[in-house]
Amino acid sequence: MKKLTLILLLIISFFGNAQTVNEPKDHSPEWSQPYEPFRIVGNLYYVGTYDLASYLIVTSKGNILINTGLADSYPQIKANIEKLGFKYKDTKILTLTQAHFDHMGAMADIKAETGAKLYVDQDDAGVLKSGGKSDYELGKYGVTFKPLSPDFLLKNNGKIKLGNTTLTLLHHPGHTKGSCSFIFETKDENGKYKVLIANMPSIIIDHKFSDVKAYPTIQKDYAYTFEAMKKLDFDVWVASHASQFDLHKKRKEGDAYNPKLFMDKENYFKRLKDLEDDYLDKVKEESNNLK
C-alpha cells in the first residue's frame, strides 16, 4: 500500500510539473525567431528575440535583465548576453514590464540559474505566484508559466538600484494589474540620455470592461495609464515588443551603434494615441449598449 501511494504521488508530481507551463502554440513565429543582440544607448542592450524585447542594463556591480520572453527564449537570451561579451551569471537583478507568459516565460529558469533577485510591481505579484492562473484574462484559458515568488515588491516610482544605475518603476496598469514601464538615465561618449522602456497599454479583452469581475478597476486603470504616459519626458524610448517601437524599420542586423534611431518621440505619442483611441471607442461602445 505504501509503495502504491508513493507511485501515485510521483505520477501526480510529474503531471503537475508538466502542466506548470502552458503557453499558446499559435503565437507569432517572430516571438521565437532569433535576433542579433546590440547596444541601444549607453549601458542599455537588446538581448531578446525578433519581437519579444528583453533588455540588459550593464552596471558597475552586475547587470539588470528586464523581461525574458517565452519559456523557450531562455537559451537565446543567455547566448545573446554572452555574444555581447558579458557574463550571464553577472545578472544580479531581474524585473519585468508585465506578468504575461510572453514576457517572463523564462524568468523562473533564469532566476534559478543566476540567483538574481526579482523586483516586480506589487500588483502583479499575485499572478506571478500563481504561475498565471489568477490572471484576469489569460488565466481563464489555462495559460500558465512557472510560478515565482518576487524578492522585492515596488509601488509607483519605486527604485531599483545597482552599481551606477537607478531604474524608476512607473506603474502603468490595465494590460495587467501591475503593468509597468521603467525610466532611467545613461550616457555614452557623446552625452547623457533619459531612457524610457515603455509598456504600451494595449487592450487584450474582446468583451466589456464591466464583465471583467476579476479586475473591477480595469477601465479606470487604463484611463489613468494613458494620462500618465502622455506626460512622460524622455530622449530615447523602446517597448515590450520590438514591433511597438518599429525596431526592424529603424535598424538592420549588423548596423552600427546609433542611439538617434530610438529618439523618435513623435512615434511614441502617435502609438499611444492610437491605443487610447481604441480604448475610448470601447468605452463609447459599452456606454451606447447601456442606453
Summarised one tens digit per residue, pLDDT across range 261-281 is 999 999 999 999 999 999 999
**Nearest in space to 169 (alpha carbons), one of 241, 126, 121, 125:** 121
* Predicted model pTM: 0.92
Q: In what order do the strands lie in the sheet with 165-171?
A: 159-162, 165-171, 180-188, 191-198, 236-239
Q: Which domains does the chain carry?
A: 33-289 (3.60.15.10)
Question: What does the pLDDT read at residue 160?
Answer: 98
For the record, the C-alpha cell of 186 comes out as 545613461
Taking the C-alpha atoms of residue 236 and residue 263, their distance in angstroms, rounded to an integer, is 4
Instruction: Please write the tens of the pLDDT for every residue from 105-124.
Output: 999 999 999 999 999 999 99
pLDDT beyond 60 at 55 = yes
Element of type H or E holding 14? helix 2-18
More confident site: 19 or 67? 67
pLDDT beyond 70 at 20 = no
Mean predicted confidence (pLDDT) in 195-224: 96
280 C-beta neighbours (distance < 10 Å), count: 13
pLDDT beyond 70 at 7 = no
Taking the C-alpha atoms of residue 121 and residue 179, their distance in angstroms, rounded to an integer, is 7
Asked if residue 27 lies in contact with residue 16, where contact means CB atoms within 8 angstroms, the answer is: no
272 C-beta neighbours (distance < 10 Å), count: 18
pLDDT beyond 50 at 9 = no
Name residue 183's beta-bridge partners: 168, 196
Question: What does the pLDDT read at residue 287?
Answer: 82
Per-residue confidence band for 17, with pLDDT thresholds at 50, 70 and 90: very low
**Nearest in space to 199 (alpha carbons), one of 223, 220, 221, 178:** 178
Question: What does the pLDDT read at residue 27?
Answer: 84
Mean predicted confidence (pLDDT) in 190-205: 97
Map residue 273 onto helix, strand or coil: helix
**Mean of the per-residue pLDDT values of the chain:** 92
82 C-beta neighbours (distance < 10 Å), count: 14
